[in-house]
Structure 1
C-alpha cells in the first residue's frame, strides 16, 4: 500500500513538452484515472511513475521513498499493458507464476499465490491452457492475475481494455472495479475512454497537450467541467456547446434563446447536457429547428438538431417518435446551463 506524490514533474524531448508541471498526490488505495486524447501525456506520466521514462524535472515519491533514481524493478509497481505481454510457450499457470520466479519468492508459496490470483479473475479452469487457446478477454485476465500475484504497492494499468470488443470491455471493466475493491491497492489507470474513467475512478485527471485541465471525482467533472475541453470530452453524448451572446440575462444564438441567466453582458459559450433539456410541448421552445436525426437507444430516444451551425443533442423519453425534417423545439432551464468564456473556454458560473 502506498501514497504516490508527483511533485511538479515534467517530461521534455528537446523543445517538445510531453508533460508539463504535473503536481498531484494520489492517496493510498485510491483508484486514479488519467484521461485524455492520444498524445495528451497520460501514458508518459504513467511511464515516469513506473521508471520506464525519466522525468526531466520534478520528484516522484512512492510511499516514503523518492524513486526518481530507482530502476523499475525496485519501485514495487506492477503494470498491465494494452498488449497482454504473455509468454506464448508458457501455460496460464506459468505465465501467472513468472513474476514470482523472477523475484525469487519462496517456491513453497507459489502454488497458493498463483491459484488465488487465478481465482480472483475467474481463470481456475484455464490454468493448463496456452495463450493461443484463450480469448482476448481471458488473456487480459491472465495479465491482471500476473500483476496481482506480485502483491505490489502500486498497480499501473495502461489502456488494458483497448483491444477488447464492446461486450468484453463491459464485463472486464466490472471485474477490474471489483478487484480494486477487493485488493485495496493504489492504482493509476490510463484511458482515452471517458466511460471507463467515470465508472472506475475515485478521481479523474483530465489532460490535454501535457497539461492537467481538471482533477476531481467523476461527479464533479461531469457536473462542473472546468472548461469547454473537459465539457466536450466527458459525457456521452458530449455536452452541447453553443456560441452566442448574453444581453440583460438572455442568451441569444442562432435558433436559440435562453432567458433568466445570471451573467454579465457579452459573448459566451452556453453549455448543457442532453438529459437536462426537455422537448417543448409548443413550437416556441428555447431551441427550435428541424430534426437532423433520431436515434432509438432502447431506454431513451436521442434527438439531434442543427442550431447555430452546430449539432445539438437532446435525450427524450423512449416512446417519442418523429421523422427527420420534422420541426421540434426544446426547453433548456437557465438553472442547469453552464457558461464558458468565449475566448479562453474557462468556466464562468456554477449551475
Structure 2
C-alpha cells in the first residue's frame, strides 16, 4: 500500500506563491500526471513530495504516515530526473546497482536485482558500457532502471522525456507505460507535454500559476474541460475558442452562427469546439457553423488542417486528407450544438451543457 496524500499544501517564497492549497489523494498504484506550463508549480509539488523542498504549510502523507519532517532518503521514493544524473565513470551495471550499495542491501541479491531491472528496460546488452557510449534514450532507460532496482513505494518522474528527440520520446513513453503496468507502483509524473499526460495517466492534474485547474481522467479533461485554460492546453491542436454573443440559443461572432444552444444563456460568451468535431460542407454554406475564407492549409498525412479567422483569432478545422482548396477560397463547416463547449466570457469557467438542437 503506497497511497500518497497531499493535504492543503502551500509553498511560498516571501510574497510569491509557488503552490496554493494543493489537496489530493493519490491511490495506491495510480499513475498521476502533473501537467502545466513552465512555472505552474508542478515540479515544486513533486519536489515537496520527494523532500527536496519544504512545504510552507499542509501535510504530505505516504502510506498513511506524515513525511514532512523526513529526509528524502527516508521517504522510500525513487526519483527519475530530466537530466538522467548518471555517474560517467561507472558502467551501466554499476549505475543501476549504486542505490543498492548506498542502502546497504545484501550484496548477494545485487546481481539478480540489477539484471531484472535491466531486462525490464531492455538494457541487458549495454551493461558494460559507460553513459558516454549511450544514446539519450538509453541513458534515460538507465535512470529508469536505477529507480526500479530500489523497489520503492513511489516513483517520481520529473519531465524524463524532455531531453529526447520526437522519435525517442514516443518509444520511451511506451516503455514507461509498459513499466507502469508491470510494476504496479504509485507513480507521480511531471510534464508540460499534454500528449504524454493523455497517453500515460490514470488521472491528470492540470495546473496554472500554482493552482489546480482540474483533476480527472484524460477522457474527462479532454471532453469536459473545467475552464478555457484547460480547454486551450489539452488537445493537439488545442480547442478552438471563439468570443461572441448568445441570445435565444444562437451564438454569433464574425463569420460564425451556431444554433440550438442553451436558451437560458444570454450576453457575451466564449464558445469552444474541437477541430475534429466540425464537419466540412461540400461547397454549400453552413446554416449553423463557420463561413469564412481559408487562411492557411496544412497537410498532416492522415488529414488536412484548414485554418480560418474569427474575430482575428485563428480557428482550426480538420478535413479529410483528400480535401483540396487554396488560401483565400470560401470555406464552410457545420458546427452542431452537441459539440460545443460554453464558457463564461469573463472568468473562463465552464457553463451549462448545450441543449439538444
Task: Give the TM-score normalised by structure 1.
Answer: 0.99
| Correspondences of 1:56-71 after superposition (within 5 Å) | 56-71=56-71
Distance in 2 between residues matched to 1:350 and 1:171, nearest whole Å: 38
Structure 2 counterparts to residues 307-346 of structure 1, below 5 A: 307-346=310-349
Q: How far apart in 2 are the matches of 1:64 and 1:18?
A: 25
Task: Show structure 1 runs of 4+ deviating over 4 A.
Answer: none
Looking at structure 2, the residues matched to 174 and 322 of structure 1 have their Cα atoms a distance apart, in angstroms, of 37
**Higher mean C-alpha displacement, 21-30 vs 341-350:** 341-350
Aligned residue in 1 for 2:132: 132
Equivalent positions of 1:197-208 (< 5 A) are 197-208=197-208
SS at 2:297 equivalent: strand
Q: What secondary structure, in the 3-state scheme, does the structure 2 residue paired with 1:311 have? A: strand
CA separation in 1, counterparts of 2:52 and 2:220? Answer: 32
For 1:349 and 1:224, how far apart are their aligned partners in 2?
11
Query: For residues 146 and 34 of structure 1, what CA distance do their matches in structure 2 show?
Result: 22
Matches within 5 A, 1:202-351: 202-263=202-263, 264-285=265-286, 286-350=289-353
Q: Give the equivalent residue in structure 2 for 1:163.
A: 163
1:114-173 deviations in Å (ceiling 9; x for gaps):
010000000000000000000000000000000000000000000000000000000000
Q: Secondary structure at the match of 2:52?
A: coil
The CA deviation at 1:350 is: 3.1
Q: Provide the residue aligned with 1:55 in structure 2.
A: 55
**Structure 1 residue 336 displacement after superposition:** 1.1
- Distance, in Å, in 1 between the alignment partners of 2:352 and 2:109 is 57
Q: Which moved more, 1:320-329 or 1:50-59?
A: 320-329
SS in 1 for 2:177: helix
Q: What CA distance in whole angstroms lies between the structure 2 residues aligned with 1:303 and 1:182?
A: 41
For the Cα contact (< 8 Å) 1:224–1:350, is it kept in 2? no
Is 1:40 aligned with 2:25? no
How many residues get paired?
351
Structure 2 SS opposite 1:53: coil
Give the secondary-structure state (helix, strand or coil) at the position aligned to 1:313: strand
For the 8 Å contact 1:10–1:22, the answer to whether it is kept is yes
Q: Identify the residue that residue 8 of structure 2 maps to in structure 1.
A: 8
SS at match of 2:141: helix
Unaligned 5+ runs, structure 1? none
The answer (yes or no) to whether the contact 1:258–1:332 under 8 Å persists in 2 is yes
- Alignment of 1:182 onto 2:182: yes
Q: C-alpha root-mean-square deviation of aligned residues, in Å?
A: 0.7
Where do 5+ consecutive residues of structure 2 fail to align?
none
**Deviation, structure 1 residue 349:** 2.2
- Residue pair 1:40, 1:207 contacting (<8 A) in 2 also: yes
How much does 1:79 deviate?
Answer: 0.2
| Alpha-carbon shift at residue 288 of structure 1 (Å) | 1.2
